[in-house]
Amino acid sequence: MPNLKCHDHTCDHNYCTHCTKRGIQVSNTAYCRSYEKRREDDSKIAQWEFEFASDMPFSLNTDEHEVFCNADTCRHYDNMKCTVHHLRVDKKSVGPKCINYIKKY
């Protein structure tokens, strides 16, 4: 499972670059489909989710995530899985995008 850091702080699931979702979906153009725009009154939810996940006895590493990817043109794609160990999502003008995407030859 990739270790994920996300730099889109407008997402409801982002807490200080941690993604609080256990798994994320990535589109065929490498955008995060699990993004949900943060509302003002939700500002503390990601923090609670992250702290709760950190406290769970079976929590080994809260930055390890299942990544279900549809970008089959990416060099790191393997049957809906991502083979990268350290994945990064950045905020782009049209949404959060996986910056580890590399087009296959």
Neighbours of 68 (CB within 10 A): 14
- Looking at residue 2, its amino acid is P
Residues from 45 through 104 that contact ligand SF4 (CB under 6 A): 67, 69, 71, 74, 76-77, 82, 84, 87, 89, 96, 98, 100-101
Which residues fall within 8 angstroms of residue 35, CB to CB, at 6 or more apart?
8, 11, 13, 95, 96
Interacting residue ranges for ligand SF4, rule: CB under 6 A:
6, 8, 11, 13-14, 19, 21, 24, 26, 30, 32, 34-35, 67, 69, 71, 74, 76-77, 82, 84, 87, 89, 96, 98, 100-101
